Structure formats: C-alpha cells, structure tokens
Structure 1
Amino acid sequence: MIKKIALVIVGVLAFLVVWQWEWVSYGYMQAKGQLRIMLNTQPVSDVLNDPAYPDSLKRKIKLIGEIKRFAIDSLKLDPSGSYETFYDLKGKPLMWVLIGSEKYRLVPVEYKVPILGAFPYKGFFDETRLQQADTLLQQQGFDTRINEVAAYSTLGFFSEPILSNMLKRSEGQLAELIIHELTHGTLFIKNSLEYNENLADFVGDYGALRFLAQKYGESSVAYRDFLAAKAFYERYDQHILRGTSVLKHLYETFKPDTPIAIKDSLKWQTIAQIVTSSDTITDERSTTGARLVKKRRFNKLNLPNNAYFIGYLTYRNQQNQFRQEFENRFHGNFRKYLTYLKQTYPSL
C-alpha cells in the first residue's frame, strides 16, 4: 500500500515537473542563487571586528542597524531578522530584472508566480538565463529592458543580508532603501505589485526623511540634500508619467492597418521629445552630478523604449494617492496610517 502511495506521489511530481518545467527550472535557478548568498554571508559582528574592512564600510553597516531600529521602533514596521549579516558582492551585480512591454501599448509582459501572484518583471541570478529570456521576448515582438537590482525582499521568508553594493549610497538613499524593503516584509498584497511598490516607495521616502531629521536635524546637509533630491526625482517622475499619458494617447490613435514604419516613426519622435524636455527640470541639491547622469542617460541613438515607462507606472504612479490619504485622512500620523493599511489590505 505504501509503495502504491509513493508511486502515485512520484507520478504526480513527475507530471508537475513536465507540465510546469519552465517554472521548476526557474525556481531551481533562483533557489540556487539565494542559497549561494545565504551560505556566504558573515555576521555583522564579525565584519565590525575584522581589521581588513575599512572604517568607512563599518560606519555604513552601523548606520543600517540604526535605520532598522528606527523603522521598527518609530515607524512600527514588523520586526525582522534581516540586515544582521553581510554579503560581499565583490563588485558584481546581485541580480537583474527583465521588463517586457508590448511595442505599441504600455502593457507589460506579466509573469504569474505561484502564491505571490502576477509580476510585470522577472528576476534572474543567472546572467546567461537572463539574456536568453531577453532575446526570446524580443523575438516575440516585445520591447525589453534589463535593470540591475540593488536589493530585494523575500517578504520575510528569509533574512536578507546587508549587500556590499548598498554601502555606496548616501545616508538618505540607504535609509530609503532599507525602509522600502522592510515595508515589503510588513505588508505585501497578492496580485497588487503596483500598489506594493508604490507603498514601499512612499514609506521609504517618508521614513528616510524622518530618520535623517532625528539623527542629523532638519538643517543638516544630509537632510536638505535628501529633501532636494526627493523633490527633483518627484519632478522627474511626474515628467515621465506625463510622458506615459502622451504615449498612451498616441498608441490609441494607431489603427490595425497603420504601417509599422509610421508607428515606429511617431513612437520614437514622441519618446525623444519626452527625454529631451527633461532638461528643463530643476535641481537644488548641493551636488548635482547625479542629475546630469539621470537626464543624460539617453541620447538620440539610445532612447528608452516602452519597458522603461512600464517601470515608472509600476513604481511611481500612485505616490500622490498615498501622500494625500496620509495627510488628509490621517493628518500625518504614520502609525495610525500603517495600522489602517494592515487592517484594510491583508498581507501574504
């Protein structure tokens, strides 16, 4: 009897492997990447006591500890075992995400992940597998974009380490990143990635400002530069989001019999105008080098495609909604707002 049950289980598993081979293979690749990280981390205490590591790195690691305590004690994000270990990337990327979009509509390629729901991107630890997936999407007629990932959240399933590439960030950028990821571990709604990412961005921005104000004061360079950077990126985000509206309207004018050459010509003219007109955005930071990199990333020979705009729709399209709800309904009381969100939107 036991043998028969075992044979049935093996048969079912074999069927699932064949039926969902792509996801089984993908899951194995991701699990292998996650395991590699977990097996090669060091306790933070060991890094802080190791004379081989420079003091500048140790200061940033200690800062992350302060940010985490602030996020839990002051913002009331859920306690987490993350950021208690350190993983040295040795200058290599952590992983990549692949975004795909229809060529003449701002509609993402979606990936349905078991348990977690649908995602408008796919993550890869394996660069060869990434390039193969990118090539396949392009062959299928999609616009694509590959982004390096600075950090990610396993939503509390595992404890995330401090990654060496995080430590290149400024105090404000580091606080925004850590609080963003801790927000995912506190509240993550199935099949609502746009909501999840916009919420984490909102909480990350708000929390970083509050942390900097508490640690350095609102008159400090760290606080004023982060506030100015936030204002600049909000202007840039709104500019790109207005551009998505222009593109959507353009694509709606295309007819089934509109020649591809005309579609492409109008599409790239419009995108070029969106990119070029971003030069009018002002920046009040004390150091503005990042602004030039941000705005001059593209040129006439290297314009962003629809997948670039999909990224903004995913991460930044609902910022005003959260801000207005937070200020108008909860009068700036973040703890009450977070309690409301938790009660209204059950998390995974």
Structure 2
Amino acid sequence: MRQLSQIYLLLLLVSGLNGCTTIGYYSQAIDGHMSLMLAGEPVDELISSNTVSPELQRKLLTVRRARLFAVDTLELPAGGAFTDYVELDRPWVVVNLIAVPEFSLEPHRWCYPVLGCQAYRGYFSLKDAQREQAAFREDGYDTFIGGVSAYSTLGWFDDPVHSGFTRLSEERMVALMFHELAHRVIYIDDDTAFNESFATAVELEGLRLWLTLEGNSAAFQRALERLQQRDQTVALVQKATNELAQLYRQQENLPLQQLRQRKSDILTTLLRSYNQLSEHWNQPGPLGRSPAALNNANLALFQQYNQYVTGFRQLLRDNGDNFPAFYRSVAKLSEKPADERIRALNTLSERFEEYL
C-alpha cells in the first residue's frame, strides 16, 4: 500500500461528549499525539550532535532543506512543523480504518467536533482499530486497515518529523512533507477526497520542482515511474468503480447471491489486471505489491487520494504555476457547494495532459 497521510486534529475536548466509546476514542487520540509531541528532540540539535547515525543525520539535513524549500518556493505555511524529531518503535505512526457498506462505494463517515466528518478513523493502537473493524465486519461492511506514515494537525500543533518519514527514501520523505504541509493551506469539512487530492497535487508538483533543483535525475525517474503507476492504477480502478456503481444501483432488483457474484467478478478482474501490471514494476504500486484481495474499502481509500488530483494540477497550470495564486483559486473553489466543486474539478481534469 502506498504511504498514506491523515488529517488528524487533536484539539478536541472530551468533556461534553457522550458515550464511553466516544470518550475512549478521543482519549487514545489525545494521549497518542501528546506522547509524540513530548518525545520530540530538536532537529537542529540532533544534526549537530554525535548521537545519531550518519544516515539519520543525512535525512535530517534533507528535512531541514525541504522544509525551507516548502516555505520559500511552494509558499506553504510550515510554522514550527518538522523542527523536532521522534524515533518510533513501529513503521507507522497511526493506522487508518476504512469501512464501506457491502454494496456501496461511499465510505462510512465519522464526525468530530471542530474537524467535521471524515471517511476514515485513525488509531495509535492497531488492536483498537481491529476491534472497531470487527464490529463493522459483523454488520457486513467491507473494511481495510492501513498504516499511516504521517498526519497533519492543520497547524494547531507543531507536528514533528519522525522515523515514519526518515525510513522512506529521500524523495518520498520530501513528498510526504509537502503533502502534510499542504493540509495547512486548505481543509474542507466533510470532503476527504477534495482535501487529500489537493494535498497529493501539491506533493507531486512540489516534488517535481524539488528534484529539478536538486539535480537528482535518478530520484526524478523513480518519481516518474510512480506517477505512471498511479495513472495506470487510476484507470483500472475507475473502470472497476464504474462497473460496481452500476451494479449497486440494481441491488433492489437482483438476488443477493447474484449481486455478490458479480461484485466478486469485477473485483477479481481488477485484481488480476493490477497484479499483471505491477509484476513488472520496480517499486510497489499504489495498491501494494501483489495484493491478495480487494474490496470496496480499498477502492474508496484509493479514490480519496487520487480522485481530483489531475483537476488540481490543471488548476495550478491555469495559474501559471504560481502557488499563492493557485491556493487562492483552491480557496474560492472550496467555498462552492460540493456538486459545483466536483463539476469544476472534473472539467479541469478533462483538459489535463501529463507533462512530467
């Protein structure tokens, strides 16, 4: 599975919320995030010390340069983000749970104070996520749990860089930084696909400029390969979701066994096509390396990060690759009703031609 990001605002007040489950969820979120914050050590001090390995020192130097690039070139509001470093005892910082009804492509949404509703729920504990996953499965939902390399608190806190970043290759680490900082620019309640697609567009365009500046042709070639893999996967997933959407609209008129069989056939075809493609890739693809199965939750998660990316990239191009002007255009778009936003982004996508 590709490295994911998660918007995860933890300025939430437990008091006044009803239900033990709700209080327990917010308690683990606040405890997990505060533990992360308290464990941070200043990046500058670690770079100048002899307490870290040469490899980590090199990665932290890249973090510092990339953060300045994000501010100076991409004009992203970094604040105090990524100025502290935390060593984790696991490859992910949190895990995300996605749950989608058996005959739907619309994920379940969890709603939070201040933040609004999101199409995933993050946990610092894998066991907690698995407990909620089991409850959804009992109700017949398709589910997926994925490890998350980073999340954003939307500027409410100075998010640290951690070993979930530094375990990645340098170009993927830098791309992830740009993605998370982009969430500080625009965030819409109840529209995960808009938020994540925008951040992914900033990630891709920012990485292009960064690698050009760095003169790192090998890393740029790897990034181009990942982009090609993403585009090929988008085409496969779009075909499958169109077929599934058409099938699910017939669920009142088809026998349950027939619905399930036709759903299985569509997903099996998608899985076979993806695995045939990815067999020849040098890097794991967006849906992972040779996944054993796919379901509605996998597709919903993938679309959240990719659905409108080309539309946002075209909007940046329409603004002359001027990032502040692009952000202003995105802000204006975010104020429109959801159906108008979708139409505008789809129209922009139709004009997009890959140029990397």
Mapped pair 1:297 → 2:290: yes
Rounded Cα–Cα distance in structure 2 between residues aligned with 1:116 and 1:37:
20
Give the counterpart letter for 2:35 in structure 1. R
Any conservation in 2 of the 1:94–1:148 contact (CA below 8 Å)? yes
Q: 1:267 matched to which residue of 2?
A: 263
Give the counterpart letter for 1:250 in structure 2. L
Taking structure 1 as the reference length, the TM-score comes to 0.86
Match of 2:330 among 341, 344, 348: 341
Q: Please give the residue correspondences for 1:4-153 in structure 2 after superposition, counting only pairs within 5 Å.
A: 16-17=16-17, 19-153=18-152
**TM superposition shift of 1:308:** 0.4
Determine helix, strand or coil for the equivalent of 2:199.
helix
Match of 2:314 among 319, 324, 346: 324
**TM superposition shift of 1:278:** 2.1
Give the counterpart letter for 1:331 in structure 2. G
Rounded Cα–Cα distance in structure 2 between residues aligned with 1:208 and 1:92:
23
Determine helix, strand or coil for the equivalent of 2:226.
helix
Determine helix, strand or coil for the equivalent of 2:147.
strand
**TM superposition shift of 1:60:** 1.0
Q: 1:184 matched to which residue of 2?
A: 183
Rounded Cα–Cα distance in structure 2 between residues aligned with 1:246 and 1:144:
20
Any conservation in 1 of the 2:98–2:107 contact (CA below 8 Å)? yes
Percent of pairs identical after alignment? 24
Rounded Cα–Cα distance in structure 2 between residues aligned with 1:175 and 1:124:
24
Give the counterpart letter for 2:57 in structure 1. K
Taking structure 2 as the reference length, the TM-score comes to 0.84
**TM superposition shift of 1:190:** 1.9
The aligned length equals 323
Structure 1 vs Structure 2 CA RMSD: 2.4
Give the counterpart letter for 2:237 in structure 1. I
**TM superposition shift of 1:233:** 1.7
**TM superposition shift of 1:252:** 2.0
Give the counterpart letter for 1:16 in structure 2. G
Rounded Cα–Cα distance in structure 2 between residues aligned with 1:118 and 1:162:
26
User: Which protein is bigger by CA-based radius of gyration?
Assistant: 1
Give the counterpart letter for 1:216 in structure 2. G
Any conservation in 2 of the 1:176–1:205 contact (CA below 8 Å)? yes
Any conservation in 2 of the 1:241–1:312 contact (CA below 8 Å)? no
Cα distance change on mapping 1:345 and 1:295 into 2, 3 Å: closer
**TM superposition shift of 1:342:** 3.5
Any conservation in 2 of the 1:275–1:295 contact (CA below 8 Å)? no
Any conservation in 2 of the 1:117–1:191 contact (CA below 8 Å)? yes
Any conservation in 2 of the 1:229–1:283 contact (CA below 8 Å)? no
Q: 1:6 matched to which residue of 2?
A: none
Q: 1:313 matched to which residue of 2?
A: 303
CA deviations 1:82-119 (Å, max 9, x no partner) are 11111111335311110000101112111111111111
Rounded Cα–Cα distance in structure 2 between residues aligned with 1:23 and 1:81:
30
**TM superposition shift of 1:14:** 11
Cα distance change on mapping 1:14 and 1:294 into 2, 3 Å: closer
Cα distance change on mapping 1:105 and 1:345 into 2, 3 Å: closer
CA deviations 1:245-288 (Å, max 9, x no partner) are 121112223335x333222221111101011112454899xxx4
Rounded Cα–Cα distance in structure 1 between residues aligned with 2:43 and 2:218:
28
Give the counterpart letter for 1:290 in structure 2. Q
Cα distance change on mapping 1:139 and 1:43 into 2, 3 Å: same
